[in-house]
Amino acid sequence: MGLFRANSARKQAAELAKVRKALAKRADQESPDAMVLRHRLGLLLVGTGDWPAAEEHYTELAEAQVRVAGEQDPGTLGAWANLAVARAAQGRITAGLDLLESTVERYAAVLGPGDPATLQAQVMLSEMLSLAGNYPGALAVLDRYHDGCREQFGPAAAETVAAGFRKVGVLRTLARFEEARQLHEELSAHASTPEEQDEARTIELLIKAESGKAHGIRLAARLHAERRPTADSVEVLATVLRRAGEPAEAAVLYRSLLAAAPAGSPRTWSLAGELARACLESGDLDQAEHLAGGLVESTALPGAHPLKLGFRATLARTARARGRDEEADRELAAVVAGLTEVFGAEHPDTVEAAEWLREGAGG
Q: Which of 99, 106, 148, 98 is nearest to 123 (CA)?
A: 148
Average pLDDT, the chain: 92
Q: Which of 106, 115, 30 is nearest to 72 (CA)?
A: 106
pLDDT at position 6: 43
What angle, rounded to 10 degrees, do the helices at 74-89 and 116-131 form? 20
Give me the number of domains the chain comprises.
1
Q: What is the mean pLDDT of residues 162-183?
A: 96
Residue 93 inside a domain? The answer is yes
In whole angstroms, what is the distance from residue 260 CA to residue 236 CA? Answer: 16
Using an 8 Å Cβ cutoff, are 350 and 337 in contact? no
Q: What is the mean pLDDT of residues 172-178?
A: 96
Domain that holds residue 71: 9-123
Q: What is the mean pLDDT of residues 168-173?
A: 96
Least reliable range by pLDDT among 97-101, 184-188, 299-303: 299-303
pLDDT digits (tens, 9 = 90+) for 239-265: 999 999 999 999 999 999 999 887 667
Q: How far is CA 195 from CA 1, 183, 227, in A?
A: 21, 19, 12
Strand (E) positions, 228-336? none
CATH of the domain at 13: 1.25.40.10
pLDDT digits (tens, 9 = 90+) for 23-40: 999 999 999 999 999 999
Give me the phi and psi of 92, to 5 degrees please: -95, 70
303: pLDDT strictly greater than 70: yes
1: pLDDT strictly greater than 80: no
Residue 44 inside a domain? The answer is yes
55: pLDDT strictly greater than 60: yes
Give me the phi and psi of 239, to 5 degrees please: -60, -45
Residue 42 inside a domain? The answer is yes
Residue 284 inside a domain? The answer is no
3-state percent breakdown (helix, strand, coil) of the chain, nearest 5: 80, 0, 20
CB under 8 A, 24+ apart: contacts of 134-141: 135/170, 135/173, 135/174, 135/342, 135/343, 136/174, 138/170, 139/167, 139/170, 139/171, 139/174
pLDDT at position 124: 94
Using an 8 Å Cβ cutoff, are 103 and 117 in contact? no
Q: Residue 49: which pLDDT band, with cuts at 50, 70 and 90? A: confident
Using an 8 Å Cβ cutoff, are 287 and 279 in contact? yes
Using an 8 Å Cβ cutoff, are 315 and 309 in contact? no
The amino acid present at 362, given as its one-letter code, is: G
pLDDT at position 236: 96
Q: What is the mean pLDDT of residues 95-116?
A: 94
Q: What is the mean pLDDT of residues 316-333?
A: 96
Residue 179 inside a domain? The answer is no
Residue 34 inside a domain? The answer is yes
Other C-beta atoms lying within 10 Å of the C-beta of residue 33? 11
pLDDT digits (tens, 9 = 90+) for 70-86: 999 999 999 999 999 99
pLDDT at position 90: 86
Rg (CA), the chain: 22
156: pLDDT strictly greater than 60: yes
In whole angstroms, what is the distance from residue 2 CA to residue 6 CA? Answer: 6
Residue 88 inside a domain? The answer is yes
pLDDT at position 30: 93
pTM of the model: 0.86
pLDDT digits (tens, 9 = 90+) for 273-287: 999 999 999 999 999
Q: What is the mean pLDDT of residues 42-56?
A: 92
Q: Which residues does 237 contact at the CB level (< 8 Å), separation at least 6? A: 221, 222, 224, 225, 253
Residue 83 inside a domain? The answer is yes
In whole angstroms, what is the distance from residue 227 CA to residue 210 CA? Answer: 22
